[in-house]
Structure 1
Amino acid sequence: MINRIFAYGNRTGWLVLAVLVLLILLPLAAVIIQVLLPGVFFGNWELGDLSLLLDVFKRPLWYQSLKNTVLLGVGTTIFATILGGALATVRSQWSFPGAKLLDMAVWLLIITPSFILAQGWVMFAASSGLAKQWLGWDWVHSAVFTPVGLIAIMSLSKFPFAYLAVHSALEWKVDRLGEAARLNGGRPWTVWRTIQMPLLLPAYCSGAMLVFMDTVGDFGLPASIAAVFRFPTLPYSIYSALYTSPIRFDMAGVLSFYLVLMIALAMSVQFYVLRKSRFDFLNSRATRSEPRQPTRGKWGMAAGNVVLLLLVAGIPFGSNLMTSITRSNGSAGASFTLDHYRKLFENGGQLTGGLVHSLEIAAGAALVGLLVGFFVSYVLTFSRFALKQTVDVISLISLAVPGVVLGIGYIFIWNQAWLERIGLLLYGKPGILILASVAGAIPVITRVLTGAMAKVPAGLLSAAQMQGAGFGRRLATIVVPLLRSALVSAGLAAFGAAVFDLATTSILFPPNFMTLPVVINKAFEDLKFGYAAAATLTGGGVVIATIMLFEWLLKPKKIKRARSDAR
């Protein structure tokens, strides 16, 4: 019995489970424990005042943060899901000029940090922003910096989650269902409303869930908007609680509890909606959806697509570019300049140090995360570990938990006095940033590697084991070579995400250890828009060049084989 429990697969499973608990589950549990026992992590075992949980409805800042988060989350979920679902439906059915640009924009929005998108909108719509300087639009400021305007901006940034969920569900179709409805007199709108939409309910729910979780946990937008418009949300108020004097751990714990509670309630609603219905409508008559040329309206779709692309990508990215190369001359307008780029490196500017620190943190997170994610995927794919479903769930938790909450948990866990005696007091050191980045990267790495590892026949490993190959040798000679391309992709994805992780780095960065997103955000808070835009483009360019270089160096090269004419 003991031998079976600690066989290779189970030993690996227990080790992986322990690492995931340490990186993800324990910090999250620490946030909840802090509410019940506020001083437990600092030597005080007194029971907490649970009435603090109700103070969120009494204290003006707490209540306003909760209300704003709910408003922003619900409003963005509704509009982003409708927009993403509608675009996915049109894109899957019709082919029109520029359609592939929409797909590219969707992925660009997903991989771009939200604070960069939000800063672009602030540069465009500020009282002296590009909209007023270049276009003379005075109304843009008052239209954007309102709750409705922020919901619109967030919807334009988050709709790709709903778009991808619905578009993936529309990959296959069963025409006979719609044909039967049309034979009975159903119009296209009626067919979609009564047949297609109900069958796509799981996809819409999944897309809406992703939009909601990413919106309520978003730290980038409120951090950027705070420079010109007061709109506190739970993530930003949690951050503020840690950077006030004295530090308000009680406030951070209570607000984190409500943030986690909101996400848990949203997930419960999704499970309730889907659990009593069946959506398995695909059969042998299912065919792959192919967009077709519309009989009319092709250029109208193309024009609408151009307008959408200008809104979702043109304004945020274009504003960063224009702000970085222009200088305001007051009433005389603006002129072109490269001064903002020169200031990045003057007098030992912070950009170089912040960029180097971010690259170091991201490289460490990618390597450690790749190691952890590899063994997580191995356990999920090849082992018979009894708790591998638990491993799967924990590996996805950090995708749902906001970075600010995870950062709070890391403070509680790694700021213990007894850890200093054994050399593991990581709070205030760069190592804690690597661990937090690993926790955030594990879901991405695991999903990439699990999909690739599923293609490796288990028989290869069994045959090697029968020939006497040990566990490590089987991995090194079979699994790793077959997954080389996936390992590179997963590692580079984790690297890129860690470089621009504003939420955890803003909470955990050590004194005098600036990172790239912190440098950009602090310049933005000081209203140095030109400097922030130049730092964003310069840092982003270096990161993209680094990723492309390593992809070229590490990914397997295609070998061209000459055709032999020998008989």
Structure 2
Amino acid sequence: MARVMMRAAPPSGAPRGGSAWLLTPLLAALAVLIALPIGFVVLQAIFPLLNRGSFAHPFSAFGAALVRADTLPLLGNTVRFGVSVALASVALGLPLGVVRGLFRLPGARLWDLLFLAPFLIPPYLAAFGWILLLQPSGYLEQLTGVNLGRFLFSFNGVVAAMTLGVFPVVYFSVSRTLAALGGRLADVARVFGAGPWRSFARITLPLMLPAIAASALLTFTMAIEEFGVPSALGSRAGFSLMVTSIEERFSDWPIDLPGASVLALLLALLALAAFVLQRRVLAGRDFETQTGKPTATLRRELGRWRWPVLSMFGFVALCAAIAPLFAIVTTAFSRTLSGGFAINNLTLAHFKALSAGSDGASALGTSLALAAATALVTGALGFLSAWVVVKTRLRGRAALDALTLLPHALPGIVVGVGLILAWNLPIWPVTPYNTWGILLLSYSCLLLPYPIRYTSAALRQLGSGLEAAARVHGASSARVLLRIVLPLVAPALVSSVMIVFAVASRELVTSLLLAPSGVQTASIFIWQQFEQGSIGDGMAMGTVTLLISGALLGCGARWAKRFDDAA
């Protein structure tokens, strides 16, 4: 009689089964990628002579920075800018999101697609589009005779340009929340005599307050971290923000490392405070409307408000997506800006700047190569980190989880400053500074949250039965990861690395700070062409990068959907 022997599988998430071997290298990799640059920003701010190898005069840089006449105005401008963008985004995105979530909106998917377009357009490229459109003798004045240049180059104009790029955060958050909640509870209130506005104010609005608050805080963080829009428009509007001042202190002589570090630390703390507050809002202001039955989402008809609502959606889509895209693409195909809209002014000459062997082609190739490398690095690190955090009970996973959360709230300018301070020191026998490797480190640090967020969500939906069964039959942890877990989370992982590729291929602020001499990326090429007056060449590059990003994101979404359908 044969004896059947079966080994007991370790409990899911136990540190046995060989999973402990992953933790140490992951912690080391994330420490180099994330903790090291942030640590050097803190150290440089505390010890102003650190770059000379001295720990003398600790904390003196804080006093020197705070007594400067421009520090408090910079902090005030940054907070005012972030709050203004957040309030304007709520004012614009809230009514649109309420209509999308509660009413039967004609062409709803088309409006969603149009409101996704601002995320596809890099903010600095959208800012250039607005300049071309609204400046004196710009496209708007050529078409209508209206000159809005004075408005664009003002504080309110910069806020408006930034708002049109980030308000979809509020729109999608509110519309998805209301679509999930439905209008059933408000209908019950109407049955018991409440008017439409009272039922909205007392029932619907409180239910979506967490979504509104969280999305408003997110737009605040996005606004204070953004470099392209304030740099392109703010200087002409006569005001500076912390992010632009940090870049100036690294770029203009004499270089002020301690002052830039103090400002970078203050900006990081401001962004972290908004991020922590956002998480607390989501965790502490939750509402449950479960009744034991599935909630049917019955959207109301717009009735007599149909055409006013469609006009409002059309106007916002025109301003947020169509207008900047029109300016970018038109400039790419125009011989001269002053030539206007004429057949004889059309040309493909600007795209010749991207032909093989040109500086434009080299910059585009560099960006695509760096984006591919970033996607591979962040995809691998994100998948492994998410698995350790979600599926194991290793003691060090809390530290790993904290490191993976930190990049969510790190402004790109702070990461760039930290990498300069960390790697531009004589103590290192080998350093990535002044090589393309420093750009890879910066992109990977900033974009690591995408694979971690997507993969973590997919892993939480997987049961532990398949992993346990594989271990019962003798499979190692590495084999389980590659043959069981990875195929199951592949759609989410592929979608996330597609996003990483698209964003990395157009990243600006760390590219400007860290790119070695003689190395250009697509974003640097666009920025320099605009500054040098070769606007058509820059917009041709912008058009190409938009097409590549859009095609990749579309293919990634389609591939993930087909994979899910097949599964």
Tell me the equivalent position of 2:54: 44
Tell me the equivalent position of 1:540: 546
Say whether 1:29 aligns with 2:39: yes
TM-score between the two structures when normalised by the length of structure 1 = 0.89
Say whether 1:242 aligns with 2:250: yes
Contact 1:433 1:505 in 2 (8 A): yes
C-alpha displacement at 1:559, in angstroms? 10
Say whether 1:452 aligns with 2:458: yes
Query: Larger deviation: 42-51 or 69-78?
Result: 42-51
Tell me the equivalent position of 2:91: 82
C-alpha displacement at 1:496, in angstroms? 0.9
- Ranges in structure 1 where 5+ consecutive residues have no aligned partner: 561-567
Q: Partner letter of residue 232 of structure 1?
A: S
Tell me the equivalent position of 1:525: 531
Tell me the equivalent position of 2:190: 182
Tell me the equivalent position of 2:216: 208
The correspondence for 1:367, drawn from 359, 376, 380, is: 376
C-alpha displacement at 1:243, in angstroms? 1.0
SS of 1:172's equivalent? helix
Query: Larger deviation: 547-556 or 439-448?
Result: 547-556
Q: Partner letter of residue 116 of structure 2?
A: W
When the two chains are superposed, the root-mean-square deviation of aligned CA atoms in Å is 2.9
1:480-538, CA deviations, whole angstroms, 9 ceiling, x for partnerless residues? 22233333222211111110111211111111010000100111222332222111002
Tell me the equivalent position of 1:564: none
1:80-116, CA deviations, whole angstroms, 9 ceiling, x for partnerless residues? 0232122111101112323222211232222332111
Tell me the equivalent position of 1:225: 233
Say whether 1:509 aligns with 2:515: yes
Contact 2:210 2:285 in 1 (8 A): no
Q: 1:187 to 1:262 in 2, by over 3 A?
A: same
Tell me the equivalent position of 1:15: 25
The correspondence for 2:392, drawn from 372, 383, 386, is: 383
Contact 2:129 2:325 in 1 (8 A): yes
Q: 1:5 to 1:42 in 2, by over 3 A?
A: farther
Contact 1:172 1:286 in 2 (8 A): no
Contact 1:109 1:157 in 2 (8 A): yes
Structure 1: how far apart are the matches of 2:398 and 2:99?
37
Q: Partner letter of residue 175 of structure 2?
A: H
Q: 1:88 to 1:390 in 2, by over 3 A?
A: farther
TM-score between the two structures when normalised by the length of structure 2 = 0.89
Q: 1:88 to 1:388 in 2, by over 3 A?
A: farther
Contact 1:20 1:394 in 2 (8 A): yes
Structure 1: how far apart are the matches of 2:525 and 2:202?
51
Contact 1:81 1:204 in 2 (8 A): yes
Q: Partner letter of residue 410 of structure 1?
A: L
The correspondence for 2:318, drawn from 303, 310, 323, is: 310
Structure 2: how far apart are the matches of 1:532 and 1:6?
55
The correspondence for 1:259, drawn from 267, 287, 292, is: 267
- Percent identity for Structure 1 against Structure 2: 28
C-alpha displacement at 1:15, in angstroms? 3.1
SS of 1:72's equivalent? helix
1:37-81, CA deviations, whole angstroms, 9 ceiling, x for partnerless residues? 123244122133436356346323x44433322221010001102
Q: 1:144 to 1:315 in 2, by over 3 A?
A: same
Structure 2: how far apart are the matches of 1:434 and 1:193?
49
Tell me the equivalent position of 2:10: none
Q: Partner letter of residue 230 of structure 2?
A: P
Structure 2: how far apart are the matches of 1:550 and 1:302?
31
Structure 2: how far apart are the matches of 1:39 and 1:187?
66
The correspondence for 1:488, drawn from 489, 494, 500, is: 494
Structure 2: how far apart are the matches of 1:551 and 1:332?
38
Contact 2:93 2:170 in 1 (8 A): yes
Query: Larger deviation: 191-200 or 345-354?
Result: 345-354
Q: 1:49 to 1:393 in 2, by over 3 A?
A: closer
Contact 1:171 1:288 in 2 (8 A): no
Tell me the equivalent position of 1:563: none
C-alpha displacement at 1:277, in angstroms? 5.4
Q: 1:149 to 1:489 in 2, by over 3 A?
A: same
Tell me the equivalent position of 2:7: none
Alignment of structure 1 residues 292-331 onto 2, 5 Å: 292-328=300-336, 330=338
Contact 1:502 1:517 in 2 (8 A): yes
C-alpha displacement at 1:166, in angstroms? 1.9
How many residue pairs match? The answer is 553
Contact 1:88 1:166 in 2 (8 A): yes
Contact 1:500 1:517 in 2 (8 A): yes
Q: Partner letter of residue 524 of structure 2?
A: V
Contact 2:90 2:170 in 1 (8 A): yes
Contact 1:227 1:527 in 2 (8 A): no
Q: Partner letter of residue 462 of structure 1?
A: A
Query: Larger deviation: 377-386 or 263-272?
Result: 263-272
C-alpha displacement at 1:278, in angstroms? 5.3
1:358-413, CA deviations, whole angstroms, 9 ceiling, x for partnerless residues? 11111111111111001011112211123434433321321211101011111112
